[in-house]
Structure formats: C-alpha cells, structure tokens
C-alpha cells in the first residue's frame, strides 16, 4: 500500500495500530502512530490509551509520559487507567521514587494510581513511606476505604497484625469504619501467625455484621482450622459461604471433606460435596476418595453408586486412586461384578496402572476368584503395549487355571513366554497338574538351553491339556 503511495485513512491507522498494540509490537505501533500524525490524522483517546498501555508494559516510560503530555496538549483528558499503567511500569522497575515524582507533577490526579503506588510500597516493606503517602492523599481528600485497606492488608500479609490494628484505629478516627476487606485482611494476618482461633473470631464478627468475606480468605481459614482439628468451626465457614452462593477453593474443600470423613461424618461430607456442586464447583475424584473410603468403612456402600452417578453427571472422571479404593472395597464386600465393571471403565478411560498397582488389583480379584471377569481388559492393556510383568502374569495365569479358564490362561502364558519370562514354580505346578512344585521347578531348570522357549512351551502346553 505504501509502495503504491496509497495513504490510509484515520480509521485504518487506528485499527492497525491497535492490532499491533494487542500483539505487543511496540516499535511498529509507534512508527505507524508517527506516520498517522504526519498524514494529518488526529488520534483519539482510545488510541492514545492503547499506546500508553503498550509502552508501559514494555517499560518505555519516558515515551509513555511524553505521549501522555501530548495527549493533554491536544485537549484530550487522560483516563485514570493511563496514569495507572505508567505507575505500574515504574513499580515493576522498583523506581517507586520516580512513580511518586510522576504523580506529584499531575494536577487533579485521580486516586487509582495512588492505590497502585501504595500497594507497591507495602510489597517492598516501605510502610513508613506508604503511611506518608496516605497522609498526603488524606490532605487532598483522596483517601477512602481502599486506601486504608491497602496498608492494613500490607501489614497483615507480613504477619504484623499489631501494626494493622494501629492503622485501623487511625482509620476509625477519620470516620472510615472497617469493612469486609478490612476483616478479610485481619483473618489473613492471623492465619499467617497460625492464630486460627483469633481469625475465626474475626470471621464471626464479620458474619454478625452481615459482611461478605472473600472466598480466598475463607478458604485459607478453613485449611488452618482443619490443621488444628477445629472441624466444627471450619464447617461453619463452609455453610456461611454456601449460603452466600460461594464455595471454598477445591484444595480447601478437599482438606475439609477429608477431615470430616476422618471424624466419621461421611454423610455430612456428602452434603458438602452436593452443596459445592450446586454452587458450580467441579470437584475432582480425589476430593471424593475420602467419602468412598468412609462409606466402605461404615458399611454404607449402597450410597456409593448414586454418588458415582452424580459425579459422572457432573462431567467428572475418576483418577487411579479413586478406582483402586472402589475396586478393592466392592471386591471385599462380595460385589466383584461392580468391581470388574469399574476396572473395565478404568482401562477404557486410558488409566494404565503401574506394575505395583496392577499387582495389587490382580491380587484383589484373585482372592475373589474373579480374574476371568477382567481378563478382556487385561488383554487390552497388553495389546496397548502395557507390560504386565512376571509377577502379574503368574498371578493371572494361576488364578485363571484355578478358575477353570485354561484357554484364556494360555493367552497370557504365550505373552509371558514371548516376553522372555518363565512361570514361577507354583504357577508351573498348577499348569502341569500331575507334578509337584519341586518337580516342575527341576524341569524348568533343565529346560533353560538354547531351545528353552520351545521346551518350556511344550511342557506347559502339556500341562494345560492334561488339566483341561
């Protein structure tokens, strides 16, 4: 276009420059901006704002300040966000003095950039400067709840609750009463000090006053109370959040459910799961694993299948730990059919257990004489490239032979021999049927020559035919 000496109009320049700004192409954006002005086009507030944001993100603050001045000279009143982006840039560089100097040079500066600087001063542990800045904003009538709460929160995040209370006292003197953010900060501070009882008292005060505390703070307190075995208090916070249509984060909910199940209150844990689900929280299966364990321990496995249905309807899937708990629990209680269905689903979900985990599962099914029920899924594992290992193969083959499924056992025997493994004496003794374990072992030892695979195969095939 430029080579053909076609000059774009103002709208074209604006859209292209905004695209480059969004892609963080600062040099190209500035170059096109200069061309735009050279062609006699006047930028609007939106274009100036995008450029100042892009320059500030790239820490080109001198250019951003110049553009801000140019913007004012052209009769366009800068937005609060323009000042915020520049102050953010200074704070990223750690040039807090330059940020303050920049703000002092602005007539009728909005309060938002002061909040950014206040927050950065607190993050850098420069609290005396933060308080001085707060006093300056008080003289200009800039300060409100947010200004005070930034400093209160800064002290609380450092665990200095005592200084936070001193700031709150001054806050009250200036007719600025503590609000929900103030209480949330105090709870965070007490949690930092592991003083969870005091944090819970602050929570109770806020609840009585009808304040809505943020879920992050409440989640932090729930985990702290659980670590102190204050399960009743943690549960009270959960119900408070649920009533407000909120829920703690998944990590805190997992801790709470685990502790409640450990206390034997599995039914209440199920209620928590349902309330969280109603509030739009998608729980992982690891959160529900303690519920599964608790229901089995209380012999209330009849509640598990409806719970599983709810989990699947919510679009969640089970992880390996949850599958193992369920498979073991149902097998032990004589519900091997359900256990085998779960094993099949686990394999279909693409969960391939490690050798140790698979050994445990096969051992569980072998105790129930139900290895045949999962043989198809085991075959899928082998065909997908999973290595069962000699122990698992021996366990599968011996269990299948004892269950009378010699044909299926022969498949696993073939895979085992192809992998270069020899059945252990016990498994071999079962296969040959009419020989003792020691005799079987001797024959296997004698078979280990250059043709050992064929010899072993013949011996074992003979055993399968004789036992069929």
User: Which ranges of 140-195 does DSSP label H, i.e. alpha helix?
Assistant: 145-157, 161-173, 180-192
Please provide the average confidence, as pLDDT, over all residues in the chain.
84
Q: What is the pLDDT of residue 396?
A: 85
Q: Exposed, middle or buried by CB within 10 Å (0-12, 13-18, 19+), for 468?
A: exposed
Q: Which residue has the tokens 């320059």?
A: 55
CA distance 217 to 357: 38
Distance between the two ends of the chain, CA-based, in angstroms? 86
Mean pLDDT of 299-324: 86
Q: Which residue has the tokens 């445990």?
A: 360
Per-residue pLDDT at 97 exceeds 90: yes
Q: Which percentage of the chain shows pLDDT scores above 70? A: 89
CA distance 276 to 157: 28
Tokens of 373: 């029920």
Q: What is the pLDDT of residue 446?
A: 52
Contact 196, 190 (CB under 8 A): yes
Per-residue pLDDT at 5 exceeds 60: no
User: Which ranges of 228-354 does DSSP label H, i.e. alpha helix?
Assistant: 231-243, 250-262, 266-278, 285-297, 304-313, 320-332, 336-348
DSSP, res 388: -
Residue among 23, 31, 5 at smallest CA distance from 13 = 31
Residue range(s) occupied by CATH 1.25.40.10 in the chain = 318-406
CA distance 307 to 303: 6
Q: Which percentage of the chain shows pLDDT scores above 90? A: 40
Q: What is the pLDDT of residue 445?
A: 47
Give residue 440's pLDDT band: very low, low, confident or very high (50, 70, 90).
very low
SS3 state of residue 95:
coil
The whole-model pTM stands at 0.76
CATH second-level architecture of 318-406? Alpha Horseshoe (1.25)
Residue among 179, 193, 204, 259 at smallest CA distance from 227 = 259
Mean pLDDT of 229-252: 90
Taking only the tens place, the pLDDT of each residue in 328-375 is 898 888 888 888 898 888 888 888 877 777 888 888 888 878 888 888
Angle, CA 413 vertex, CA 410 and CA 415 arms, to 5°? 115
Per-residue pLDDT at 443 exceeds 70: no
CA distance 310 to 314: 6
Taking only the tens place, the pLDDT of each residue in 59-82 is 999 999 999 999 999 889 999 999
Per-residue pLDDT at 453 exceeds 50: no
CA distance 401 to 429: 11
Q: What is the pLDDT of residue 455?
A: 44
Q: State residue 58 phi and psi, 5-degree precision.
A: -90, 10
Contacts of 124 (CB under 8 A, 6+ apart): 94, 96
Give residue 116's pLDDT band: very low, low, confident or very high (50, 70, 90).
very high
Give residue 6's pLDDT band: very low, low, confident or very high (50, 70, 90).
low
User: Which ranges of 403-451 does DSSP label H, i.e. alpha helix?
Assistant: 406-418, 425-432, 437-446
């Amino acid at each position: 276009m430029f080579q053909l000496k076609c000059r774009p109009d103002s709208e074209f320049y604006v859209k292209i420059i905004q695209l480059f700004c969004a892609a963080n192409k600062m040099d190209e954006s500035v170059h096109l901006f200069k061309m735009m002005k050279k062609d006699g086009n006047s930028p609007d507030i939106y274009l100036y704002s995008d450029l100042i944001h892009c320059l500030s993100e790239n820490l080109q603050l001198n250019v951003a300040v110049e553009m801000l001045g140019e913007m004012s000279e052209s009769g366009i009143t800068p937005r609060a966000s323009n000042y915020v982006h520049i102050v953010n840039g200074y704070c990223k560089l750690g040039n807090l003095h330059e940020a303050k100097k920049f703000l002092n040079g602005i007539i009728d500066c909005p309060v938002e950039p002061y909040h950014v600087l206040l927050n950065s001063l607190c993050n850098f542990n420069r609290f005396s400067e933060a308080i001085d800045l707060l006093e300056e904003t008080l003289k200009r009538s800039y300060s409100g709840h947010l200004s005070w709460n930034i400093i209160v929160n800064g002290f609380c995040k450092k665990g200095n609750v005592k200084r936070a209370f001193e700031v709150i006292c001054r806050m009250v003197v200036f007719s600025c009463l503590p609000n929900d953010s103030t209480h949330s900060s105090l709870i965070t501070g007490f949690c930092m000090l592991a003083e969870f009882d005091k944090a819970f008292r602050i929570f109770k005060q806020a609840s009585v006053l009808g304040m809505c505390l943020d879920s992050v703070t409440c989640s932090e307190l729930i985990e702290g109370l659980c670590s102190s075995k204050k399960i009743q208090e943690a549960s009270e916070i959960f119900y408070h959040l649920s009533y407000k249509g909120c829920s703690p984060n998944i990590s805190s909910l997992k801790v709470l459910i685990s502790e409640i199940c450990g206390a034997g209150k599995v039914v209440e844990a199920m209620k928590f799961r349902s309330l969280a689900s109603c509030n739009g929280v998608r729980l992982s299966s690891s959160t529900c694993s303690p519920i599964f364990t608790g229901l089995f321990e209380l012999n209330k496995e009849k509640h598990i299948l409806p719970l599983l249905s709810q989990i699947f309807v919510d679009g969640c899937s089970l992880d390996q730990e949850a599958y193992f708990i369920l498979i073991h629990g149902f097998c032990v209680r004589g519900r091997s059919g359900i256990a085998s269905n779960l094993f099949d689903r686990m394999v279909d979900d693409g969960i391939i257990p490690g050798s140790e985990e698979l050994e445990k599962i096969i051992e569980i099914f072998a105790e129930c004489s139900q290895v045949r029920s999962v043989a198809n899924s085991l075959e899928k594992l082998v065909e997908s490239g999973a290595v069962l290992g000699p122990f698992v193969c021996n366990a599968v083959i011996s269990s299948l032979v004892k269950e009378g499924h010699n044909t299926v056992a022969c498949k696993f025997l073939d895979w085992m021999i192809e992998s270069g493994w020899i059945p252990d004496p016990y498994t071999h003794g079962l296969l040959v049927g009419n020989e003792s374990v020691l005799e079987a072992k001797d024959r296997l030892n004698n078979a280990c020559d250059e043709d050992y695979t064929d010899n072993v195969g013949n011996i074992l095939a003979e055993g399968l035919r004789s036992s069929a």
